[in-house]
Homo-oligomer: A and B are copies of this chain.
Amino acid sequence: MSAQDITAVELSKAYRLLNHGPTVLVSAQHEQDADVMAAAWACALELTPAKVTVVLDKSTKTRQLVEQSGYFALQVPCYAQIDMVHQLGTISKFDQPTKLADCKTELFYQDPYPVPLVTGSLAWLICKVIPEPHNQQAHDLFIGSVVAAWADSRVFRDGHWHFQNAAKELRSLHYIAGGTFYLIGDEVKAR
């Protein structure tokens, strides 16, 4: 992690990591089996205690690992990772067991959580599933309580994103469809 400066984010500010609507990577692990998928449908749900929602299709290996372990991580990827993000959202580990190696996805861990995190992302939120069987079955909707959060202080510090003066490679990604994303753009302020 030499190039990154990973700094803890107060849980009361964790919603700000997702508030601008980035596409996320969802990671999970059960025993020695880890997977990561891309998801555009993740959202803050509550400020305090910090909670999030994420939609996880029944066809995904990541969902199986979330159900087995009771934990997932959301991470905010950046332009430098665009090809990996798209591959992680296209390939299923059920079809391609070497998915993570094939996508060149490197994982790390933050003590004491046995939840895999993706190296090179801008921010990471470790979430404990709040079991909601109806939402999970009927809507593929998972609710998580944020138990820890970190960000790369090059782009998020003092509770705020600082994209304005960061390299283009560190801009967050906002997926549309068919491999097309938008980067987050300029900071603007209301009067």
Interface residues of A (CB under 8 A from B): 16, 19-23, 40-46, 51, 53, 55, 79, 82-83, 85-87, 134-135, 139-141, 143, 159-161, 163, 171, 173-177, 179-191
Contacts and interface: CB of A to CB of B under 8 A. Distances in A.
Contacts of A19: 40-41, 174-177
24 contacts: A16-B177, A19-B177, A20-B174, A21-B40, A40-B44, A41-B43, A41-B45, A45-B141, A53-B53, A53-B141, A87-B190, A159-B177, A161-B182, A173-B188, A180-B187, A181-B187, A182-B185, A182-B187, A183-B185, A183-B186, A183-B188, A184-B184, A184-B185, A185-B186
Q: Copy number in this complex? A: 2
A42 B42 CA distance: 9
A124 to B, nearest CB: 18
Contact of A161 (B163, B176, B190): B176
